[in-house]
Chains A and B, each alone.
Chain A
Amino acid sequence: MTRRMLTALVALVGLFVALYLALYKAGVIGTLACGTGGCETVQLSRWAAFLGIPVANWGVAYFTVVFGLAFLATTERWSSSRGLDFSLWALTGWGVLFSAWLTYLELFVIHAICRYCVVSAVIVVVLYVLTHLEARVHLRR
């Protein structure tokens, strides 16, 4: 399996984690809970929205785009596309910065940790490593 395929698969896992959080935020999913648990505190804080849209929804959109681009990169037509690899690299780099900001907020501002957010952040870092290695191949040529 190639790195691009791995990128697509990891992004798909990230998409489902983000989808879970988005559905939880919408009240469709999740156990009944008091608003003092880690995930509840994070999800109910004012930081749970970015530009008026829940962060989880941004996550769904983000992982969908990464999955879509990585999947395209596995097809023969786009197999030698440098642009696609550099786009994925830039996108996952931005994702790492955004996740770092969210983790900072959890640790030092909200003072609560949501394990699904941590899983999502780890996935973003793995995606960055994979896309970085792929982009480096083009840089070496």
Chain B
Amino acid sequence: MGSNRMETGRGRGQAGVSAAQGGKRTFYMSIAVLLVGGIGTLSYMSTRPTGAGMIDSTIAPIPNQGHMIGSDSALVEVVEFGDFECGACGSFANLTEPDVRARLALTGVIRFRFMDFPLQGHPNTWPAHNAAWCAGEQGKFWEMHDAIFQNQDRWVTEATRKPRKVLDELARQTGVGMEQYEQCMITEKYRPQIQANAEAGMRLGVNVTPTFIIGGRRLPGALPYDEIKAIVDTMVAETRAAKGTKKAK
């Protein structure tokens, strides 16, 4: 009987060992599946073209410049990649940008450049970018830029499917010659420039609007004035110090 008990015990022991081995096998298999699945998913996500719907490959590449406020001789350039239909861009334009322009751009500390970055999830943004450029053709870009952002709630996709009505009204209010504006809008004359700006942003790794480029640093999000001022002050001090060093040599 004792021998039988021992055999049964040994049998149970062997069953336990093989169960443990089976459990380990499942464990290692699960790790392998998670590793392959996780790495594969992240690799796919990092290589897929995120802005495919935004870029029309039939348009030939052209130089990109955006629109600028401030002096060419300013020590620091602040570039904003923005989308007219983006709420965060709207709140930056309405709440922070007036201070940036008045205290930094118009005092000669920086030049501020707006670069178009129309997002594919915003159907009404292209007409708005076109409208700003068409107004810009008549020297009214910044007036139209401000009017578009201040009235964002009236023409965005949630409000209307026909943004042109509001945009045209805003253009008229800013004093744009409507005949020339209408022709510009119909032909989408500045689409290549808008696209060139967006492509420049994508090359810089912009994936959220607004994104600011200040002295080669990519800063996503609607930055508060104090943060922009602090970065600009640091850059101005660095540039002056570098110039001083050059002169001393």
Q: Name A13's contact: one of B34, B85, B209, B210 (CB within 8 Å).
A: B34
A67 to chain B, nearest CB (A): 9
9 residue pairs bridging A and B, Cβ less than 8 Å apart:
A1-B26, A8-B31, A13-B38, A20-B45, A29-B42, A32-B54, A32-B121, A35-B86, A36-B88
B-to-A contact residues, CB < 8 Å: 23-24, 26-27, 30-31, 34-35, 38, 41-42, 45-46, 50-51, 54, 83, 85-89, 119-122, 205-210, 218, 220-222
- The chain B residue with its CB closest to the CB of A20 is B42
Tally the A-B contacts, defined by beta carbons under 8 Å. Answer: 92
Alpha-carbon distance between A34 and B89 when the two chains are bound, in angstroms:
8
Which residue of chain A is the closest to B125 with respect to CB atoms? A34
Question: Within the complex, which residue of A20, A31, A35 is in contact with B88, where a contact is CB–CB below 8 Å?
Answer: A35
Known: A1-B23, A27-B207. 12 other contacts (CB 8 A): A1-B27, A9-B30, A12-B38, A16-B38, A16-B42, A19-B38, A19-B42, A23-B45, A27-B218, A30-B50, A34-B88, A35-B88
Which residues of A1-57 are within 8 A (CB) of B? 1-2, 5, 8-9, 12-13, 15-16, 19-20, 23, 27-36, 40, 44-45
**A31 / chain B contacts, CB cutoff of 8 Å:** 50, 207
Q: Find out whether the CB atom of B87 lies under 8 angstroms from the CB atom of A34.
A: yes
Name the 9 nearest CB pairs between A and B, nearest first: A44-B221, A34-B86, A35-B88, A16-B38, A27-B205, A36-B87, A5-B27, A36-B88, A29-B45
- In the bound assembly, the distance between CA atoms of A19 and B119 in angstroms comes to 25
- Which of the four size classes fits the interface of chain A? 20 to 34
- Measured CB to CB, the nearest residue on chain A to B120 is A32
A34 to B206, CA, bound (A): 11
Q: Name the residue of chain B whose CB is nearest to the CB of A6.
A: B27
Q: For the complex, is A74 an interface residue (Cβ under 8 Å from B)?
A: yes
Min CB distance B19 to A, Å, is 10
